[in-house]
A and B are shown apart, each in its own frame.
Chain A
Amino acid sequence: AQKVTQAQTEISVVEKEDVTLDCVYETRDTTYYLFWYKQPPSGELVFLIRRNSFDEQNEISGRYSWNFQKSTSSFNFTITASQVVDSAVYFCALSEALGADGANNLFFGTGTRLTVIP
């Protein structure tokens, strides 16, 4: 059974601080996909990144970076020099091996609410 744990329920940082959001996952599949989504106060879900299980290369996109470590089943997300606009709930999600027709459902963690204080 798949499981995604985001142990940090809420984090507050002062603007310009760096912050890391943790995500630990469990799966029996060797092929899987990991995602991060942002949910700002307006409520929509905004895609941030997708990683497949064979690609452990870390990624940087502007102030965002992701650290994928299969050895610890973690896919952590770091925001550098945080800004007030980063305030949101961040969800980590896992998708396991595809169904016969290729569809796959996302299993979400419980989310981490990040508040960036000006």
Chain B
Amino acid sequence: EPEVTQTPSHQVTQMGQEVILRCVPISNHLYFYWYRQILGQKVEFLVSFYNNEISEKSEIFDDQFSVERPDGSNFTLKIRSTKLEDSAMYFCASSGDFGGETQYFGPGTRLLVL
């Protein structure tokens, strides 16, 4: 069964460093999403991406964040200058060929900013 994959599973970085989180969505999906979950809290929407551009972004997704689909398979989230409060689990999700379809989530990347 197709699944969303994410790398790395864990990342530790120093405050101020740049990180890139990688995702490979399900191959025939067209919509891609990033969410984050601060430890013990709910899952929060960051950004949606369709047709090689951002569709919608939340207030959390400020200028420090960017997304890219550098090739036909990868979908990345970059945090330019990490802050302590960026420590969270980051989930990538993808959905099929029309909006409202189920979003399938990757296993997540746990980011720790020291």
Contact = CB atoms under 8 A, between A and B. Distances in A.
Interface of B, helix, strand, loop or mixed by DSSP: strand
Interface residues of A, number: 26
Interface residues of B, number: 29
Contacts, number: 73
Contacts of A95: 100
Interface stretch (B15-23, B67-75, B79-87, B102-110): B102-110
Nearest to A95: B100
Contacts of A107: 45
Nearest to A35: B102
A101 B55 contact: yes
Contacts of A103: 31, 33, 48-50, 55-56, 99
Interface of A: 33, 35, 37, 43-47, 50, 52, 91, 93, 95, 98-99, 101-111
